[in-house]
Amino acid sequence: MGVLSGLEPAKVFEYFEKICSVPHGSGNTARISSLVCEMLNDMGVKHVQDASGNIIAFKPASSGYEGHEPVILQGHMDMVCAKDEGCTKDMSTEGLDLTVSDRYIRAKGTSLGGDDGIAVAMILALLSDDSLMSPPIEAVFTVDEEIGMDGARALDMSLLSGRRMINLDSEEEGVFTVSCAGGVRVDGAVPVLSPLDEADDGNAIYRVSLFGLKGGHSGCEIDKGRGNAIKLLARVMYWATKKYGSLRLSEFTGGKFDNVICDSCEAVISLKTEDTADFESFIAHSDQTLKREFESTDPGIKVKARKICEEKNGRTVFSAADTLNFVRLLCVLPFGVRAMSRDVEGLVQTSSNIGMVATDGEGLHFTCSVRSSYESQKEALAGIIEAACEQAGGHTSRRGDYPGWEFLKESPLRDVLCKVYKEKTGKEPVITAIHAGLECGLFAGALKGLDCVSIGPEMHGIHSPEERLGIESVGRLYDLVRTTLKNL
Ligand SMILES: [Zn+2]
């Protein structure tokens, strides 16, 4: 007897428990992929598995639905492995220990992988159901969604003939996601015009730190008005170069991830000793100014300058021209919300974040993350970053490009889902869009005219050991999908 036996819908939870019995963290999906193939074999459902481990299964139309357009059902097989500090489980080799309490399923000491194992289980249950009334189903199980959507990127989408898709990778019951952002990373490098020099005799060296910001996710939290430490320190340093002609940059570093709003940043500078007293009060004044400006969003913000040595101490600095060139570029690189959606209230449409900056003997390096639900705006904003970098004498390259999923004004699939949801619950669903990437974007990019909605059951704390899945919401969601298929 499994831990989940007795829960309804029985088939869904039976498959979910099987999925949880094998390790399936991102990058470690060979076993889950072959397990899903085995289960498809057992139910006699035709399928293909690609070299990455992605699977597409084909269920023919049920009687009466011959000639209906196919429907794609999609979820990802990999999960984020997170565990409590004291937990000794090796998630790369062991399955999960499921528990049921208080109307939720959890995994002891670890994340549950309800994101997105429950989607895989639900789709398997639908495929195995001989009484299902439905158009032909093309079921897509991807790998490695959680590490850059690598599975969906590698998938041969030409195997799919459906142009309507239900993605089951959402985590809030009654919330239907209908658009997501595309994104691209732009890496820039600006070489030095002249080699670094030793700081002049009689110069003091300072470490200027800007820290205490809240940071956050560069997609979901870009509209909170929070400061970016790289941008704010660049602003302070720009004014400092105007005031103190002797100021030379030696280092400028901040940020570890392109998709995180930078919360702290540092510059090391050299300065004529006679300017130091004034410089220190300039920094104190900047600190007060920023504290006032960011009182409500980043109350912990601080700027500090600490003299790290009285003398140059063998430290090398950039020339005056390079110093100004770098600081100017960091000032003009775009950060924050560029456009809000006119279709979905409160949705950020286009944004950018400078996430990382560093200097070395060769010059300045930075990485920006651009997002937009409009492919053309993503392109335009990446172009602005490239142009600014070129103007500073640098060059750029792009990586991690993925397409956005644009909001469709007309979506017959969304209409049916909304109608069925309302009939079942008496409530209107919440229609929303997110300013972050989803696999739906890759499908929408490849399958022209795709009509797609992303839905899911009630989940909390995904990607953490606190993850829990609401049992009853799974039954309601399963029923919603089943009834929707009947009406397509
Ligand atoms: Zn997911």
59 shares a domain with 141: yes
For position 313, what pLDDT does the model report? 64
How far away, in angstroms, is 114 Cα from ligand 1 center?
8
In a domain, 215, yes or no: yes
Element (H, E) at 439: helix 439-446
Choice among 14, 17, 78, 322 that is catalytic? 78
How far away, in angstroms, is 116 Cα from ligand 1 center?
5
Give 216's pLDDT tier (boundaries 50, 70, 90).
Answer: confident
List, for residues 180-213, the tens digit of each pLDDT value.
Answer: 999 999 999 999 999 888 887 778 999 999 999 9
For position 312, what pLDDT does the model report? 54
| Residue 187 a catalytic site member | no
Tokens standing for residue 341: 């959606």
How far away, in angstroms, is 464 Cα from ligand 1 center?
13
Cα 483 to Cα 417: distance, rounded to the nearest angstrom: 9
Can you give the residue range of the structural domain that contains 144? 10-180+405-486
| Residue 145 a catalytic site member | yes
How far away, in angstroms, is 453 Cα from ligand 1 center?
14
432 shares a domain with 318: no
Tokens 């004034």 sit on residue: 278
Q: Note the pTM of the prediction, 2 decimals.
A: 0.79
Element (H, E) at 20: helix 10-20
377 shares a domain with 242: yes
For position 311, what pLDDT does the model report? 59
In a domain, 176, yes or no: yes
What is the domain count for the chain? 2
Average pLDDT for residues 161-174, to the nearest whole number?
96
314 shares a domain with 210: yes
Tokens standing for residue 102: 């208080």
Who's near 449: CB < 8 A, 6+ residues apart? Answer: 163
Mean pLDDT of the chain: 94
Identify the three-state secondary structure at position 261: coil
Q: Domain ends where: 402, 437, 470?
A: 402
Q: What does DSSP assign to residue 25?
A: B
Give 173's pLDDT tier (boundaries 50, 70, 90).
Answer: very high
CATH number of the domain within which 348 lies: 3.30.70.360
Dihedral angle sign, alpha carbons of residues 207, 208, 212, 215: negative
For position 315, what pLDDT does the model report? 85
Query: Taking a C-beta distance cutoff of 8 angstroms, is the pair 312, 201 a contact?
Result: yes
Taking the alpha carbons at both ends of the chain, their separation in whole angstroms is 37
Buried b (16+ CB within 10 A) or exposed e, 8-39: ebebbbbbbbbbbbbbbbbebbebbbebbbeb
Choice among 116, 138, 144, 145 that is catalytic? 145
Among residues 29, 109, 217, the alpha carbon closest in space to that of 467 is found at: 109
How far away, in angstroms, is 440 Cα from ligand 1 center?
11
How far away, in angstroms, is 146 Cα from ligand 1 center?
7
List, for residues 394-448, the tens digit of each pLDDT value.
Answer: 999 999 888 888 889 999 999 999 999 999 999 999 999 888 888 999 999 999 9
List, for residues 25-76, the tens digit of each pLDDT value.
Answer: 999 999 999 999 999 999 999 999 999 999 999 999 999 999 999 999 999 9
Cα 488 to Cα 397: distance, rounded to the nearest angstrom: 44
For position 208, what pLDDT does the model report? 98
Query: Taking a C-beta distance cutoff of 8 angstroms, is the pair 22, 77 a contact?
Result: no
Give 454's pLDDT tier (boundaries 50, 70, 90).
Answer: very high
